[in-house]
Structure 1
Amino acid sequence: MLPTPISEKTLSRGMLDVLIRAGLIFLLALACFRIFYPFANLLVWSLILAIALYPLHLRLRRRLANKNGLTATVIVLVSLIVITVPTYLLGVALVDSLEHAMEMAKTGGVRIPPPSESVAAWPLVGGKVYALWLQASTDITGLLQKFTPQLKGIGTALLGAATGIGTGLLIFIFALIISGIFMAYGEECRRRAIQIASRIFGPESGPRVTELCSATIRAVAQGVVGIAFIQMLLVGIAFVIKGIPGAGLLALAVLLLGIMQLPATLITIPVIIFVFATEGFTVGSIVFAIYVFVAGLADNVLKPLLLGRGVDVPMPVVLIGALGGMVTGGVIGLFIGPVVLAVGYQLFWRWVEDQPRIEPPPDAPPQV
């Protein structure tokens, strides 16, 4: 018996049903994305922190009677203390520096020495630099009034940057708390992650992809962001104790340079020169210079120890991730960008290298 042919009407109705279902699924996915999007940075940052801190959670859990909730709470509380106390000190130092600068500007306490005649002989820019310097040494108030529009723009940009930093700090604190919840349910989260990866990449590749993502996140979070934060604390605390003007801003600059894989000596060496120029070669200034210089080079020792534990992530990938994340996501994107781009880089190359080998036919001549 011949099979009954499917009519065009039935075929059209089936196609229409498929399109309607696909459209409804798309609308549902779009609605879920719009609801989730405001919390995307928070949850991604929480996931990164949880994966980076989970090995510490496992080691500490053995000493706390294998209580996941207690262990996660201890890690979160200690992390909050370690982060908020130095951040508060740096913030207070920054506010004091700004208030001192504003007071000096109002009272006319700023004294700039006149330029040397040799400055005018500098090629290309010597004349302009000499004129501006001379006016600053004789009439700094008039010079500031002359550049008032530019100064307002700079002030607005600095205010926006400060607001972004404050928002990023709040997001980081909430993300740290949420990461504690992830760590408390670490085993369950790991099983769910393997299930999702197995559904996407297949049952054989799912567990390996999950481990690859975890190793990449830990390597970049510890070897890039973690080292930059440690370096900022080491250098920033020394700046605050020494009373360096704008210690908070300088410490923040050290953090940003560390994430962008640029040397902290771009900040520390000018500060050392400033200290020697203002205080001379005293015992305190020499000790400060040695400590700050060594702290500025600490990343050269820490990077092979931390970054080398995970996977090999090229530094250009980290740099592009930091810059792109800062452009698209602000201060918080500066931290998330390198991690996300590194994970994408590793998954891409795993997909490129995971190709089936083509066996030559048995009668093919051997290749030389």
Structure 2
Amino acid sequence: MLLTPITERVMSKALLDVLIRAGLVAVLAIFCFRIFVPFLNLMVWAVILATTLYPLQVRLRRSLDGKDGLIATLIIFVAFAVILVPTFMLGAAVADSIENMMAIVRNGSLRIPPPAESVSNWPLVGQRIYDFWQQASTDLAGLAQKFAPQLKDAALVVLTTLTGLGAGLLVFFIALIVAGILMAHGEKGYYSAVQIASRISGPENGPQIADLCTSTIRAVAQGVVGIAFIQMLLIGIGFVVMGVPGAGLLALAVLLIGIMQLPATLLTVPVIAFVIVTEGVSTATIIFSIYIFVAGLADNVLKPLLLGRGVAVPMPVVLIGALGGMVTGGVIGLFIGPVMLAVGYQLFWRWVKDQPATENIGAREQP
């Protein structure tokens, strides 16, 4: 069928109008994203915290006669206290330790005891450790001068890390305040989330996707924090019983390491080595070493049991999403990764199952 010149001009004009509108919408979206992107991490953290803490608000609503604003304020104040007190204690202890170390270095009273002869008999690295330790006990200044460039680089890395942690903690506290505002309007927020999901994936899938995102965020938050807390208790009890110096601070460090999804063995193995070197090899130190090492690996058993509870997708999907998201996006990726992977998993299988029933391909009508 041939189109008349008038019809062609009308269609061309309509197509041009559509392209111009699409271009203007794209430009508007780009500008909006550039304006919003400095606050992206803050808002993502706020949504994660609000989603995680909202069930507590629902429970308290019955006792406080539905005063959502007051309930959200109380929850945020308690969260501030729970986070600020250990953070202040840890910061004060670290500052005191650094100050004492600097005073010891200035006074020249830093002395490292010589190694035991048994250290040289350790397999593979025993002799190297013995020689290094021996030089540190006899000529610490010369050893420090020898490794001055490496020590300078390590100090810069530590300083950069501490600065990043301080900035991240500030963002987290602001996000906690924003989360309180979101929780005060939790029902409206959930309804908006359902509307957005329905607009993207259809009205039949919207509520399910919104519920899936909510349950996944809560499962990851409860699983990660819960596992880290259990590990802190197990390892902290061992530190206290063995009389390890700074057992409380080390247990708190285990909690932080667990939340960051790093292996607790980064801390437990050096402590085990310290106890063996200072206390010697005995029945008590062997039992302590085995217990602490096993407790440091407990997250490998607890993650499959706790991480995917209450989520309508298989646990490996949540676990892979959490680990992959942590690698690619940091701590925020720990939550975003499993949410994206769970939603993609559900949509993929919904697409696979949403197909017309077909007869068996091998079945043919007989003549």
TM-score over 0.5 for the pair: yes
Distance in 2, Cα, partners of 1:243 & 1:214 = 41
Superposed displacement of residue 303, structure 1: 7.6
The equivalent of 2:185 in structure 1 is 185
RMSD over aligned Cα atoms: 3.9
Matched, 1:310 2:316: no
1:320 aligned partner, one-letter code = G
- CA distance change for structure 1 residues 236 and 36 in 2, over 3 Å: closer, same or farther? farther
Q: Partner letter of residue 191 of structure 1?
A: Y
Tell me if the contact between 2:228 and 2:254 (Cα under 8 Å) persists in the aligned partners.
Answer: no
**Structure 2 counterpart of 1:330:** none
Q: d(CA) in 2 for partners of 1:260 and 1:51?
A: 20
Query: For residue 358 of structure 1, what is the amino acid of its counterpart?
Result: P
2:358 counterpart letter in structure 1: P
**Are 1:324 and 2:320 matched, yes or no?**
no
- Unpaired runs of 5+ residues, structure 2, are none
| Aligned-pair CA distance for 1:189 | 0.5
Higher relative contact order (CA 8 A, sep 6+): 1
Alpha-carbon shift at residue 305 of structure 1 (Å): 5.5
* Contact 2:182–2:189 (CA under 8 A) maintained in structure 1: yes
C-alpha displacement of 1:91: 1.0
What CA deviation, in whole Å up to 9, does each residue of 1:166-195 have, x standing for no partner?
A: 111111111111111111001111111111
Give matches, 1:1-368, under 5 Å: 6-116=6-116, 125=125, 128-228=128-228, 231=231, 244=245, 251-252=252-253, 254-260=255-261, 262=263, 264=264, 266-268=266-268, 270-271=270-271, 274=274, 304=305, 307-311=308-312, 312-314=314-316, 315-326=319-330, 334=331, 336-355=332-351, 356-361=354-359, 365=363
What one-letter code is carried by the residue in structure 2 that aligns with 1:352?
Answer: F
Query: What is the identity, as a one-letter code, of the residue corresponding to 1:337?
Result: G
Report the 3-state secondary structure (helix = DSSP H, G, I; strand = E; otherwise coil) of the residue aligned with 2:309.
helix
Hey, what's the Cα distance between the residues in 2 that align with 1:347 and 1:301? Answer: 24
| 2-structure distance, mates of 1:360, 1:243 | 68
Deviations 1:137-170 (A, max 9, x none): 1110111111111111100000110011111111
Q: What TM-score, normalized to structure 1? A: 0.81
Instruction: Please give the secondary structure, in 2, of the residue aligned with 1:309.
Output: coil
Shift of 1:227: 3.8
Query: Is the Cα contact below 8 Å between 1:199 and 1:206 reproduced in 2?
Result: yes
Q: Give the Cα–Cα distance (whole angstroms) in 1 for the partners of residues 139 and 345 of structure 2.
A: 61
Distance in 2 of aligned mates of 1:279 and 1:123: 20
Is the 8 Å Cα contact of residues 250 and 267 (structure 1) preserved in structure 2?
A: no
- Equivalent in the alignment of 1:329: none
1:119 CA displacement: 5.0
Unaligned runs of 5+ in 1: 327-333
Offset at 1:353?
Answer: 0.5
Letter aligned with residue 216 of structure 1: T
Q: Is the 8 A contact 2:233 2:251 kept in 1?
A: no
Q: How many residues align?
A: 356
State the Cα distance separating 1:271 from its structure 2 match. 3.0
Shift of 1:80: 0.6
Structure 2 length-normalised TM: 0.82
Q: Distance in 1 between matches of 2:361 and 2:155?
A: 77
Per the alignment, in what secondary structure is the counterpart of residue 183 of structure 2? Answer: helix
Percent of matched pairs sharing the same residue: 50
CA shift at 1:99, angstroms?
1.6
Q: CA deviation at 1:346?
A: 0.5
Counterparts of 1:316 and 1:362 in 2: how far apart (Å)?
A: 36
Q: Deviations over 1:290-323 (max 9, x none)?
A: 9989986886669845752335442333222222
Contact 2:52 2:218 in 1 (8 A): yes
- Indicate the residue corresponding to 1:331 in structure 2: none
